[in-house]
A and B are shown apart, each in its own frame.
Chain A
């Protein structure tokens, strides 16, 4: 019950965060630029055109009322119209978001699948060569500029070795859109299209590695530190004194309590992962939300920019709620006491 209360409280705070985020975005989009209508139409537009757009965007209303309208739209999932595609921003993002989601899910899975074992190995052989290797790898991947790694991977695997596709989500010849989950990996399996699935995996390979490197390094580092921290606890010494075998001690007694910090860090730093996704999508021409966002920024498409930032924020909040749930599963202290630490 305490756990449910904990989750509900977190949910409440999350809604507040989103509300705050809407204020920030509204400020950036409507207050900072001075005249959004002039900005949208460009310097060549006539004063009449600007005035009529101002009128239709509601820019002549008082600021507070504009915010209320914006918030009202937001609550209904209406992010306004994109000036560029002339579609509703919500529809545009709904079309591009699954590609980003697929990339991010694969990235997080890969980062944990590599980072946790590396961190465990480093802690197990602390100050010996595996530890030094992992630490070097962790620091290297954490300080590797994502765009630089993406470029290098593209050149190496794509042009030099010529083994993997370097752009897009699927080859030009395959037109696959089942429209169920929007995740090609999942949809192709449901549709029984093994060929599409394989192509999707091949296309995901490079962008996922480029995006996962920084997170993987961070996870390996945190896992190492928290494993070492846990290994110094009295209860691990007790387990040793009572003859609990090494392997069981590592993977059960230590990893379980040590697993919480990497999870929470991933949640906290999820925003920078989304930021990096922008760069990676751009370089690999990945047809996701970030590519849409970058286009919007170049074209000064205000509604689209606001929509993309807002959806990034919602993404962050949802991921963090899921992590809270996971932390509760891993650590009974959170479950029972209904709070962290």
Chain B
């Protein structure tokens, strides 16, 4: 269909055109950027940064949302909006640490399994099968039970299982690429294995990794919130969205905002990452990444 004398559309233009016509991607990007900015600048942008600690102001407890307290106040009179913004920090930190640990490990193992095949593949892929059978949430619960419940332990427990998804993804891409001509050409020319893995194959996985990372960030945040909802996250008084939902739940439905609004904050940030990942998937045309 490349008929007519017009000059071909540039790649950058095609990408930009598709990105800007893709409302999910744009909205997702905006949400993610907003969340990250708010979390980073939390002490400067929140109306009551001092409410992060164990402040008690009984005169103002259970205040409904208002111009002063956008999300209302909790059972000891702290501003929920300020605490929610600080809570975002914990959620994002969790995503960064878990994915920061899981992705490099997962990607390298996936490359090795996909490229070398043989017993390397068998060992790595069977271990991922085992890890897939364990629910991350249950694993984190079990680890928390055996050690002490803390954010660090929970993050480690999740990261311990999370790399498998990246391994599976990179493995399947590498296996397809292994027999491609540019890889075979590099092999023929005597390129080192490290060169082939990291310079020839890895760059072809980048868009898939980007999509997966964005989608994953949302899901890790959800699991982290579930853990802190169950009381296994960061310990009070540091604000955490899951913990806020849990403690607010005892005042439902009368003081609904104490639980519902922090819950919406989790939903908001998780949705941002998900929409962004969804949009990037369309953009990069990597349909099979979930």
* B26 / chain A contacts, CB cutoff of 8 Å: none
* A16 / chain B contacts, CB cutoff of 8 Å: 126, 129
Contacting residue for B142 out of A13, A145, A152, A305, CB 8 A:
A305
Given the contacts A24-B130, A139-B274, A143-B271, A294 and B141 also touching, CB distance less than 8 Å = yes
The answer to whether B146 touches A32 (Cβ under 8 A) is yes
The CA of A166 and the CA of B287, in the complex, are separated in Å by 39
How near does chain B come to A81, taking the closest CB pair, in angstroms? 17
Contacting residue for B135 out of A20, A142, A312, CB 8 A:
A312
The CA of A145 and the CA of B245, in the complex, are separated in Å by 11
Q: Is A77 an interface residue (CB 8 A)?
A: no
Q: Is B213 an interface residue (CB 8 A)?
A: no
The answer to whether A312 touches B229 (Cβ under 8 A) is no
How near does chain B come to A288, taking the closest CB pair, in angstroms? 13
Q: Would you give 12 A-B contacts (Cβ < 8 Å), ordered by A?
A: A17-B130, A24-B134, A32-B147, A139-B274, A140-B271, A143-B222, A143-B267, A155-B256, A271-B134, A279-B229, A302-B146, A312-B138
The answer to whether A145 touches B222 (Cβ under 8 A) is yes
The answer to whether A275 touches B245 (Cβ under 8 A) is no
* B222 / chain A contacts, CB cutoff of 8 Å: 143, 145-146
The CA of A4 and the CA of B277, in the complex, are separated in Å by 39
How near does chain B come to A302, taking the closest CB pair, in angstroms? 8
The interface centre, meaning the residue of B134, B225, B245 with most chain A CB atoms within 10 A of its CB, is B134
A225-B287, A275-B136 given; 12 more Cβ-contact pairs under 8 Å: A13-B129, A20-B126, A24-B134, A29-B146, A143-B271, A151-B249, A159-B252, A159-B253, A272-B136, A275-B138, A279-B226, A305-B142
Q: Is B30 an interface residue (CB 8 A)?
A: no
How near does chain A come to B271, taking the closest CB pair, in angstroms? 5
| Total inter-chain residue pairs, C-beta < 8 Å | 144
Q: Considering the complex, give the chain A residue whose CB is closest to the CB of B249.
A: A151
Q: Is B290 an interface residue (CB 8 A)?
A: yes
The answer to whether B133 touches A147 (Cβ under 8 A) is no
Interface residues on B, range: 35 or more
The answer to whether A279 touches B133 (Cβ under 8 A) is no
* A222 / chain B contacts, CB cutoff of 8 Å: 290
The answer to whether B132 touches A13 (Cβ under 8 A) is no
Within 196-224 of B, Cβ neighbours of A (below 8 Å) are at: 218, 222-223
Q: Is B56 an interface residue (CB 8 A)?
A: no
The CA of A18 and the CA of B143, in the complex, are separated in Å by 19
The answer to whether B130 touches A271 (Cβ under 8 A) is no
* B275 / chain A contacts, CB cutoff of 8 Å: 139
The CA of A313 and the CA of B137, in the complex, are separated in Å by 13
The CA of A278 and the CA of B267, in the complex, are separated in Å by 20
The CA of A280 and the CA of B143, in the complex, are separated in Å by 20
Given the contacts A13-B126, A145-B226, A265-B290, A272 and B137 also touching, CB distance less than 8 Å = yes
* A316 / chain B contacts, CB cutoff of 8 Å: 132-133
* B144 / chain A contacts, CB cutoff of 8 Å: 297
* A249 / chain B contacts, CB cutoff of 8 Å: none
* A21 / chain B contacts, CB cutoff of 8 Å: 130, 133-134
The interface centre, meaning the residue of B146, B147, B249 with most chain A CB atoms within 10 A of its CB, is B146
